[in-house]
Amino acid sequence: MAKRSTPELNASSMADIAFLLLSFFLLTTTMDQNLGMPRRLPPMLEEEQEKPPEINKRNILQIHVNSVDLLLVNKKPMEVVLLKEEVKTFLSNPRNEEDKPEKEVKNIELLGAISVGKGVVSLQTDRGTSYRMYMAVQNEIMRAYSELRDEFSISQFQSPYAKLSEDRQEAVRGVYPLNISEAEPRDKGKKR
């Protein structure tokens, strides 16, 4: 009896198609890039300058998160949900209180002479602080800045900050600059 031959498929064209699909996928797919959190680093010290300039204590809002995720704001316990309002009140200092940042008049393009606070938000964590708590604190600080900028943008330009032109956004950033200082995490057992 004669042997039956089974038809074979030519797989070389299938490999070519798979390669083309893979190439198409790689060329058309965009990968998300984690850009991190935007922060302004302090300026480099000049050689003749030995230590950084002093900042008046009233201009610093001290935020500390300890190793068991308890939040202290100016050495007083606080819940994370209240942090945004505390930061907003501190930075805006609407009643020009003595325990909040001092203000100085600056000439800002598009706005003219305007009173700007000298507030700095200082964040200190312990090495045992959880990432979840660290990010929750960061988010509340950034929400405070965003809301302050939005409120000011609407009052001055009748539009939210995100919808302003670049030059107007720069003017608003001049009124509420992102002044956040992050100290190196401490070991929980060490003294300051």
What does the DSSP assignment read for 155-192? Answer: HHHSS-GGGS-HHHHHHHHHHS---EEEPPPBPTTS--
pTM: predicted TM-score of the whole model, two decimal places: 0.71
Residue 54 has pLDDT above 90, yes or no: no
CA distances in angstroms from 137 to 47, 92, 180, listed in the order given: 35, 19, 12
Identify the band that residue 35 occupies on the pLDDT scale cut at 50, 70 and 90: low
Q: What's the confidence (pLDDT) of residue 187?
A: 75
- CA 175 to the chain's CA centroid: 17
Mean local confidence (pLDDT), 92-99: 81
Q: What's the confidence (pLDDT) of residue 34?
A: 66
Instruction: Specify burial of residue 153 (Cβ count, 10 A radius: 0-12, 13-18, 19+).
Output: buried
Q: What's the confidence (pLDDT) of residue 31?
A: 73
Q: Which residues of 57-66 are buried (b: 16+ CB within 10 A; e: fewer)?
A: ebbbbbbbbb
Mean local confidence (pLDDT), 95-100: 80
Alpha-carbon gap, residue 167 to 169, rounded angstroms: 5
Residue 46 has pLDDT above 90, yes or no: no
CA distances in angstroms from 97 to 26, 58, 189, listed in the order given: 58, 10, 36
Residue 43 has pLDDT above 80, yes or no: no
Higher model confidence: residue 65 or residue 43? 65
Higher model confidence: residue 186 or residue 116? 116
CA distances in angstroms from 30 to 81, 86, 148, 153, listed in the order given: 35, 39, 34, 33
